Amino acid sequence: MAQHIVILGGGTGGTLVANRLRRQHRHDSLEITVVDQDDRHVYQPGLLFVPFGLTHSEDIVRPRQRQLFDGITFRRTAVDHVDIDAHEVHLADGGCLRYDILVVATGAVLVPEETEGLTGPGWMERVFTFYTPEGASALGGALATFDGGRIVVNVVDMPIKCPVAPLEFCFLADWYLRERGIRDRTTLTYVTPLDGAFTKPVASGQLGGMLEERGIELVTEFNTGEVDGAAGRLVSYDGREVPFDLGVVIPLHGGAPYVHRSPGLGDELGFVPTDEHTLQSKASPDVFVIGDASNVAASKAGSVTHFEGETLVANIERHLVGEPLEAGFDGHANCFIETGFHKAMLIDFNYDTEPLPGHYPSAVGLPLLKESRLNHLGKLMFQWFYWHSLLPGRDIPGIHGDMPTSGKHPVSTAPEKES
């Protein structure tokens, strides 16, 4: 009898895992079901470009079901809860799926309503987020009529998806405002709960320097307690205030709400405790986790989700035949950072190694921790790879799950600038 793999979430992780498994296993040995609440697969890295008119929300969305190979069942409904002991997923449409193996791939959700005032007066009029297609489009409208003043970009708290995206927004905003000739009458401020521009020291120093060069003010260790859209101010828990005319806020993130309704599955934020190397959940040996839904200490990024896929699929296959799992995932993350003016940086790191200068994926490759046009082209081309290689679960030439070490220089090598 075929074993049944149920995959919760048909985003980046759920789609690539389903397709990899479908390619490798006969239909009569493995039944695969993907559950998602909607049929709109968003290429989320594209959201960054929407506010600046460089792409449109409708150009980065495709039907979810069409990204899944034939022989994968798609159930379009929300997950209500998981009963781990009974090996059952209860669906919002009243259905129930029994599984042999469950893959949790429901990502992270935005919870703006958890910050006082954020969704109150001024929300989507003066205060926006570009983390949703609707928010990114609305912000684009507001930027187009913006004629100078104070723009504030605020990360309410970590963890967030793609921790470099708010910095990229600042760099692109600086470029956009210069192109429009209104940069000299606009202050741009980046407000973060971190003690620097980024989490990892070498990259944080580099990115902090780039903010300074562009005249973007950096406010650190700011724990946002309230966003007052009517008066135009951020207020921190320790009473500091940052005024704005246009607020760009990255709201708090949590796991999908059904996780809280599934006894034993998640932590207090709704993320699923997961072994950081095997990707098996701590809740049950028959539950695996991929992508933003897990609590592992890797970035919440599509690249991480992609790299996890290799280990996750191999470990599901081992688990199905009773073999021991491999501690194969090293926390590998790889992010292009758009810096405006048709350039981007690239950072590559894992659980143990912070982003270092050099080249990726080997001594001949894309420059690391350095702005270049080549990296910008890499970022633009990635959308094609996303739909045509990453989601179908095909290997991308030269790109592997493990973080490469060749081509990287020790930290003491000061990164130079490329003109």
∠ at Cα 261 (40, 78), nearest 5°?
20
C-beta of 37 vs 199, nearer to ligand FAD: 37
Q: By Cβ distance, which residue is nearest to ligand FAD?
A: 11
C-beta of 370 vs 379, nearer to ligand FAD: 379
In Å, what is the CA distance from 405 to each residue of 187, 292, 409?
40, 25, 9
SS3 call for 89: strand
DSSP β-bridge partners for residue 288: 103, 280
C-beta of 293 vs 403, nearer to ligand FAD: 293
C-beta of 32 vs 235, nearer to ligand FAD: 32
Interatomic CA distance for residues 189 and 195, integer angstroms: 15
CB of 411 to ligand FAD, least distance (A): 24
CB of 136 to ligand FAD, least distance (A): 8
Strand runs labelled E in 111-156: 127-128, 149-155
Strand runs labelled E in 58-192: 61-63, 72-76, 79-83, 88-91, 96-98, 101-104, 108-110, 127-128, 149-155, 186-191
Hey, what's the torsion of the CAs at 19, 392, 129, 267, to 10 degrees?
30
C-beta of 177 vs 333, nearer to ligand FAD: 333
C-beta of 225 vs 392, nearer to ligand FAD: 392
Burial class from Cβ neighbours inside 10 Å (0-12, 13-18, 19+) for residue 14 reads buried
C-beta of 15 vs 206, nearer to ligand FAD: 15
Cβ atoms of 252 and 112 within 8 Å: the answer is: yes
Residue type at 156? V
CB of 46 to ligand FAD, least distance (A): 8
∠ at Cα 163 (186, 190), nearest 5°?
20
Beta-carbon contacts of 208 under 8 Å, excluding residues fewer than 6 positions away, are: 196, 197, 198, 218
CB of 204 to ligand FAD, least distance (A): 18
Burial class from Cβ neighbours inside 10 Å (0-12, 13-18, 19+) for residue 39 reads middle
Q: Give me the DSSP letters along 267-298.
A: -TTS-B-B-TTT-BBSS-TTEEE-GGGB--SS
CB of 174 to ligand FAD, least distance (A): 18
C-beta of 202 vs 272, nearer to ligand FAD: 272
C-beta of 35 vs 296, nearer to ligand FAD: 35
C-beta of 152 vs 235, nearer to ligand FAD: 152
User: Residue 161: which of 54, 256, 44 has the closest Cα?
Assistant: 44
CB of 258 to ligand FAD, least distance (A): 4
Cβ atoms of 206 and 233 within 8 Å: the answer is: no
CB of 207 to ligand FAD, least distance (A): 15
CB of 106 to ligand FAD, least distance (A): 4
C-beta of 169 vs 232, nearer to ligand FAD: 169
Using CB under 6 A, list all residues that contact ligand FAD: 9-14, 35-38, 44-45, 47-48, 78-79, 105-107, 130-131, 161-162, 165, 256, 258, 291-293, 300-303, 305, 335-336
CB of 12 to ligand FAD, least distance (A): 3
DSSP β-bridge partners for residue 30: 3
CB of 237 to ligand FAD, least distance (A): 25
DSSP β-bridge partners for residue 103: 7, 288
CB of 44 to ligand FAD, least distance (A): 3
User: Residue 251: which of 152, 128, 338 has the closest Cα?
Assistant: 128
Query: Is the link from the previous residue into 159 a cis peptide, with omega within 30 of 0?
Result: yes
